Each structure stands twice: as structure tokens, then as C-alpha cells.
Amino acid sequence: MSDCIFCKIAAGEIPSKKLYEDDEMLVFLDITPMAPVHYLVIPKKHIQSLLELEEADTALLGRLFFKAQEIAKEKGCEEKGGRFVINAKTDGGQTVDHLHIHFLGGRALGWPPG
Ligand code: AMP
Ligand code: ZN
């Protein structure tokens, strides 16, 4: 989508601090980190939110989560863990309308979210 900031990041039109990239996904640091470890995993394909996921995208979503947990381990979060989050739409607090998994780690996180 031409006006989507994460599509532009995926296309290299907007810079990002990349942790991983392949043909179908990109992992980059969140610009406003909410924890010592905070990165985003996005599909290069524009999917507006988890609520727009199509059945054909289920394997892709699995690969996004697999990569998200691999990088969490690389970042030293295997023992203490962290949080894998997908915000969806208005009530979920989604601010960028391109599906993304947040990983937050490196500190204890409160629950429930405010
Ligand atoms: P959400 O509120 O779940 O839609 O999350 C969007 C996330 O994208 C927020 O945590 C923002 O800090 C992050 N973000 C927005 N613009 C950028 C950018 N240019 N580079 C990296 N992260 C960004
Ligand atoms: Zn997009």
C-alpha cells in the first residue's frame, strides 16, 4: 500500500534498524522502545491487521512468530521470556495499519495492559 509506513520500511524507502530480512518478512527495532528489547516483525505483504488475515496467510503468520521467538532467544530473552503482542484496530491500540508482532523483553512487564 503506497501510504503505509511499514510497506515503505519493507521496501527500503524509509530507513529502519533491521535485525533480519528475507523475501517475506522484516524484523526491525521499534522507534519508540517500551522495553530494553523491543522489535517488530512484519510481513512484507500488506495485511491491515490480524482481523484481515486470510486462511492462505496462516503459514506466513507461523513463520513470523517462529522468527520472533528465534530473535528473542538471540537477544538473551530465552530464560526470562517477554511478550509477543499483536495490537488490532482501535480498541487494541493499533497505530500502524500493517500487521506486526511486537516483542518486548528485558524487563518484567505488567498485566493486564492499561
Ligand atoms: P501499534 O501501536 O501496535 O500499531 O505499534 C506500532 C509501533 O510502530 C509503535 O510501537 C511505534 O513506535 C512503531 N513505529 C512507528 N513508526 C516507526 C518507524 N518508522 N520505525 C520503527 N518503528 C516505528
Ligand atoms: Zn503496509
pLDDT tens track for 83-100:
999 999 999 999 999 999
pLDDT of residue 56: 98
pLDDT score for 1: 72
Q: Which residues of 79-111 are buried (b: 16+ CB within 10 A; e: fewer)?
A: eeebbbbbbbeeeeebeebbbbbbbbbbeeeee
Ligand 1 centre to CA of 59 (Å) is 24
Kindly list the catalytic residues.
Answer: 100
pTM of the model: 0.98
Q: Which atom of ligand 1 lies nearest, measured to the CA of 92?
A: 3
Ligand number nearest to the C-alpha of 3: 2
Grid cell in block for residue 6:
511499514
Give the DSSP H/E element, type plus range, for residue 91: helix 89-92
Cβ of 90 less than 6 Å from ligand 1 = no
pLDDT of residue 90: 98
Candidates 8, 16, 13, 30; CA nearest to 75 is: 30
pLDDT at 45: 98
Is residue 88 within 6 Å of ligand 1 at its C-beta? Answer: no
End-to-end CA distance of the chain: 31
pLDDT of residue 25: 98
> Who contacts 46 (Cβ-Cβ below 8 Å, separation ≥6)?
1, 4, 6, 7, 98
Cis? peptide before 113, omega within 30° of 0 = no
pLDDT greater than 80 at residue 70: yes
Mean pLDDT of the 34-49 span: 98
